[in-house]
Structure 1
Amino acid sequence: MKGITSIGHVAINTADLGKSLDFYIGTMGFPEMMRINHDSGEPWLVYLRVTDDQFIEIFPGAETEKTSESWHANGFGHLCLMVDDLDAVVGELKGKGVTIMIEPKSGADGNSQAWLLDPDGNKIELMQMHPNSQQLQAIARLRQQGI
C-alpha cells in the first residue's frame, strides 16, 4: 500500500525478560534503545534497535513459559532478519552457543535461509536475498508497472 515504507517493529512477549534481553542484546547484538516502565517502576516495554527505523519490542509478563514451536500455531509466526552473509552470521551465532534448528539452505523463493529459536521459542529466520530471488523479480515487475 502506498505510504507504508517498511516494517517498523516486531513485538515479542516474554516470560523471562532477562533471558530474552541476554539473547537479543548479548547474542544477536541489538542494543537497548529505551524502556518504558509501569508506574510501579517495573518494565512494561523494552525497545531494541535493529536499524534506525526498525525495532524489536520486548514485553515482559507473558502468560506461558514458551510459545508453541509448531509451524502452524496461531499468533506470531516468525521474525525475519535480513543478512548480507548468511554463512558468516550462522557461524558467529554458533560460536556464541546458539543452536541452529534449520541449517542454511535455499528457500522456495530463491533466497538462502537458516532458522533458530529465541529463549521463548519464537522462530527467527535469517534470510540472505539473492539477485534472482522471487521477491526482487516481483519488485522489478511492480516498478515497471509504476507501482
Structure 2
Amino acid sequence: MNLLGGIHHVAVIASNYARSRDFYVRILGLEVIAENHRGARDSWKLDLRLADGSQLELFSFPNPPARPSRPEASGLRHLAFRVAQLDDVVAHLQREGVACEPIRVDEFTGRRFTFFADPDDLPLELYETPAP
C-alpha cells in the first residue's frame, strides 16, 4: 500500500535571504506563492511553487548554524529537480554564473544528470526526464 501521495514541499534555510530569494525566483524561475515576515522570530518564509505544483519553502533565521551538506554527507543527500532539456537548463545556469558539474549518465536508468549548488552550497541536481 502506498500511503504517501508525493512530496508537498522541501524546506531550505538560507544564510542570506535576499541572495537565496534571487537565486530560487529569478535564476531557477520558481513562482512566489506567498512571502511573510515573522517578526517574533525575525524570520522570513517564502513559499515557492514548481511547475508540477510541488513547493519549496525558503526560510531565514538570524545566524543559522552551518551544516555539512555535500552529496556524500550523512542525512539529506541532495534535492533533485526534473527537467525536460538538461542542456538548456545548464546553459541558462552558466549564463547566470552558476557552475554545474559535468553532465553524467545514470548507469541504471540511462538518464542524464548534473549537480550544482545554491548560494549556501546546498547540493542540487538536475535530472533529465522526457516531457509528459
If the TM-score is normalised by the length of the shorter chain, which range does it land in?
0.7 to 0.9
Alpha-carbon separation, structure 1, partners of 2:76 and 2:16: 18
Return 5+ residue gaps in structure 2 as ranges: none
Aligned residues with identical type, % of pairs? 27
**Which residues in structure 2 correspond to 1:23-62 (within 5 Å)?**
23-40=23-40, 42-51=42-51, 53-61=53-61
CA contact (8 A) 1:79 1:125 kept: yes
Alpha-carbon separation, structure 1, partners of 2:104 and 2:73: 23
**Structure 1 residue 98 and structure 2 residue 98: aligned?**
yes
Instruction: Report the count of equivalent residues.
Output: 128
Q: Displacement, 1:50? A: 0.7
User: What secondary structure is seen at the aligned counterpart in 2 of 1:18?
Assistant: helix
Alpha-carbon separation, structure 1, partners of 2:54 and 2:69: 25
Higher Rg? 1
Alpha-carbon separation, structure 2, partners of 1:51 and 1:42: 30
**Which residues in structure 2 correspond to 1:73-92 (within 5 Å)?**
73-92=73-92
TM-score, normalised to structure 2, is 0.84
Return 5+ residue gaps in structure 1 as ranges: 131-147
Equivalence for 2:64:
63
User: What secondary structure is seen at the aligned counterpart in 2 of 1:51?
Assistant: coil
Structural RMSD (CA)? 2.1
TM-score, normalised to structure 1, is 0.76
Equivalence for 1:16:
16
Alpha-carbon separation, structure 2, partners of 1:105 and 1:47: 31
